[in-house]
Structure 1
Amino acid sequence: MPKEQKFEIGYHLNTWDFEGRPEEGFPFLADVGFVWYEALIFNSLSDYFARRFMTLEDSGPPQMMTDTDFLRRMHLFNKAQEEYGLRLSSLYANCEYTNSELWPHERDCVMAVTRFLQSFGAKILVCGGGPPVGAKPQTDDDFRAFAKALEELGAFSNKLGIRTVYHPHLDCFIETREQLDRFMAIVDTDLVGLCIDPAHLVIKEADPVDIMRTYMEHIDYIHFKDAKDFEGLEGYARYLSFCELGAGVVDFPAMVEIMLESDYDGLALIELDASHKTAEQSCLESID
């Protein structure tokens, strides 16, 4: 007898967000039947981090999040809930975590946003980024400092009923299977879980299905994203290989089978950072 599906599916706002028109995504997502959406913490995902981790170009110090930025974002999400019945599932934060000068600012911003998540009834804080990849060999001390910072956020979010998860990602501190295993061996999983994104993993020659089999008990959130034609690509070009679900190489049936077998009852958010068509057309193709 087939297992009952206990997880729900939502859609990430960033296909519209990166184009500067997030408000247009809400009525469309509601019209096609979605209830849950995820968004980035800042209105531009702290452009500094987007450029840095996607290796687009060098940039100066990160811009500070102003009260106006925060309130505009809050108004946008309130409108999505009140006018379209959409629910915020999570927010995605990029931080460096181990820079002693930057961490107090990062921590305070993310903790403030965690309270914001609580006010919306959201249950997940997605953390990405980390110290720059490739700048120097990653030491055991680097991993311990990285895990400690995430655990600090996780301990805080747990008190608010929110689960902190880390998202392995291209060009970030954890992007390969070896790095992920190294991280999972030391992090306190009572405080920090995983968000699995198969597209990032396959580009780094990792098997997301095997990773899910290994770490399913610690996976609290999932991104459904596909990728194709990425062999031999470097830098930003790899991000252009992300595609609609089913158009790439990710084995989603195997992923779903594991989710069903494990009685996964969290959320899976369909995601595409940038559409080669339109945000709307890509969404429709992914859910077809």
Structure 2
Amino acid sequence: MSAKLAYHTNCWGPLGGHPVGVTSVKDLFYQTFGDMNLAFAEIAAAGYQAVEMFDGNLVDYAGEMGRFRGLLSDHGLQLLAIYSGGNFIYPDILEEEFWRIEKAAGSAAEAGATHFVIGGGAKRAGGVRPGDYARLGDALDRAAEIAEKHGLSAHYHPHLTTMAETPEDIREVFAHTRIGFCPDTAHLAAAGGDPAALIAEHFDRVTYVHLKGWQRKPFAFTPLDRGDLDLRPTLDLLRDKGFDGWIAVELDAWADPAAGASASMAWLKDNGLGGSAV
């Protein structure tokens, strides 16, 4: 398998949404409240080639993309992807959400990214209503069109707490949209799925993968070298399928982000990946 390795910057601080989004839906970008330059330095030191970021952390550099690209270049990294999301099923706020998607995609393209990852699909308090999956599918197609207009490949990321948790949920989403699939091994497993089997089932949509460890009790996401999720079947499946795209390691929170990144890189090397020649 000729894969390339990236790491998400979301572990270098508390995760949340931009606080202005409480009263302004259009500004509800994802955010890691931490030092992105430190994240770049420690991700590069661990041996990764590129980074994925939340949309809000990138939009923070609006008007300063030259400086942003310089920071990445100083560490020998590239921006691979950004992550955005939305509710996508409420007509009254949909245009506000797409204002944000448009701004995020434009910023990503200006910064040199090639992938646009989208999560979401609100789970209502009373459960999914008839038509919700069709509404989500239409929104994801529109998001994909925006990404493609900016030269980005668009991918849907199934996620706990959304309408796309279980294997059945994911099939229903993909019955209503043409968007690509960014599987996240930890989220798929925590919702009762088999990550390798789901990647195989939807492989025609997969050009970008999130690898993440997971433990059941207490519930936590982990570096790749620990937890209850055996990731080797996923790597074997990707090898068997001849996957040659990017793999991004993700870890939502860890007390020592640099140590988490290094532990996952050591596991990748032990399993036949890692370094600049992959």
1:82 aligns to 2:73 (yes or no): yes
- Aligned equivalents of 2:119, 2:264: Cα separation in 1: 24
1:200 aligns to 2:196 (yes or no): no
1:135 aligns to 2:125 (yes or no): yes
Using the TM superposition, give the Cα deviation of residue 134 of structure 1 relative to its aligned residue in structure 2, in angstroms. Answer: 4.8
Deviation larger for 172-181 or 12-21: 12-21
SS in 2 for 1:42: helix
- Aligned equivalents of 1:71, 1:186: Cα separation in 2: 34
The normalised TM-score by structure 1 is: 0.80
**Residue number in structure 2 paired with 1:266:** 245
Contact map agreement 1:77 1:88 (CA 8 A) in 2? no
- Aligned equivalents of 2:66, 2:159: Cα separation in 1: 29
SS in 2 for 1:263: coil
Opposite residue 23 of structure 1, the aligned amino acid is: N
Opposite residue 55 of structure 2, the aligned amino acid is: I
- Aligned equivalents of 2:66, 2:150: Cα separation in 1: 22
SS in 2 for 1:272: coil
Deviation larger for 86-95 or 157-166: 157-166
| Distance change in 2, residues 1:89/1:225 (3 Å) | same
Contact map agreement 1:224 1:269 (CA 8 A) in 2? yes
The one of 150, 166, 187 aligned to 1:160: 150
1:223 aligns to 2:214 (yes or no): no
Contact map agreement 1:14 1:22 (CA 8 A) in 2? no
**Residue number in structure 1 paired with 2:28:** none
Gaps of 5+ in 2: 15-32, 267-278
Q: Deviations over 1:51-110 (max 9, x none)?
A: xxxxxxxxxxxxxxxx8x452884673243232121111110021112222211110221
Gaps of 5+ in 1: 46-66
| Distance change in 2, residues 1:76/1:286 (3 Å) | farther
Matches within 5 A, 1:104-115: 104-115=95-106
Q: Deviations over 1:123-144 (max 9, x none)?
A: 211101222x251232341111
1:7 aligns to 2:3 (yes or no): yes
1:36 aligns to 2:26 (yes or no): no
1:287 aligns to 2:277 (yes or no): no
Contact map agreement 2:84 2:104 (CA 8 A) in 1? no
- Once the two structures are aligned, what percentage of the paired residues are identical? 25
**Residue number in structure 2 paired with 1:245:** 224
| Distance change in 2, residues 1:71/1:278 (3 Å) | same
- Aligned equivalents of 1:226, 1:205: Cα separation in 2: 14
Q: How big is the alpha-carbon RMSD for the aligned residues of Structure 1 and Structure 2?
A: 2.1
Contact map agreement 1:126 1:164 (CA 8 A) in 2? yes
Matches within 5 A, 1:41-120: 41-43=55-57, 69-71=60-62, 74=65, 77-120=68-111
- Aligned equivalents of 1:72, 1:176: Cα separation in 2: 40
Using the TM superposition, give the Cα deviation of residue 32 of structure 1 relative to its aligned residue in structure 2, in angstroms. Answer: 2.6
Contact map agreement 2:46 2:261 (CA 8 A) in 1? no
Using the TM superposition, give the Cα deviation of residue 30 of structure 1 relative to its aligned residue in structure 2, in angstroms. Answer: 1.8
Question: Number of paired residues?
Answer: 248
| Distance change in 2, residues 1:39/1:101 (3 Å) | same
**Residue number in structure 2 paired with 1:58:** none
Contact map agreement 1:90 1:126 (CA 8 A) in 2? yes
